[in-house]
Amino acid sequence: MVTQFAQVQAGDFHVDATLIQGNCLDTTVFAKGDVVFLDPTDDTWKQALTTTTAKRFGVAFDAAASTPGAAKRPRVIVHGHAIVVAGGAIGPHNRVKPGGTNGRVIEFVEATDAFNTVVGTYAGPASNSEVPATERAGGSQILAAATNDKIWVELT
């Protein structure tokens, strides 16, 4: 018997993930797999910018295109493990924040970054549909991520 896995992509999630369906402005644009945030000024989901702080973060499961006059309700991963794209180098098991490029993540710097920018924790490379074995006993070592790598992030 042969088991074939589809290639993973940003916006995929693990079975432990929680998705919600949220509101989005008709002019909002983000791609599947982008880090997004819930804007408290209008309670809508938007693409996380490299400067976004003090927000509730998630990962877009659905893309949002600019559709003037249309009501949009994209699904967003708000808890558990999701695949995103690294916007820079990230060390094993480090926290991540929005950065590098809008919608992506970079390593959170403990000594200088504000804790209200934490999206989650880097859990390893996203080479298949399973969270890396280091999440389980007896797993292998997680290596650092580089710019444009697809990675698992455990959302906080």
Mean predicted confidence (pLDDT) in 19-37 = 92
Grade residue 3 by pLDDT with cuts at 50, 70 and 90.
Answer: very low
DSSP the chain: -----PPP-TT-B-TT-EEEE--B-TT--B-TT-EEEEETTTTEEEEPPTT--S-EEEEESS-B---TT--B--EEEEEEEEEEEBSS-B-TT-EEEEESEEEEEEE--TTTS-GGG--EEEEEE-SSSS--GGGSTT-PPPPPB-TT-EEEEEE-
Convert the pLDDT of each residue in 121-136 to its tens digit.
999 999 765 666 555 5
The structural domains of the chain, with segments of one domain joined by +, span 18-155
Residue 43, amino acid:
D
Grade residue 27 by pLDDT with cuts at 50, 70 and 90.
Answer: confident
Convert the pLDDT of each residue in 110-121 to its tens digit.
999 999 999 999
Residue 82, amino acid:
A
Q: What percent of the chain has pLDDT over 70?
A: 87
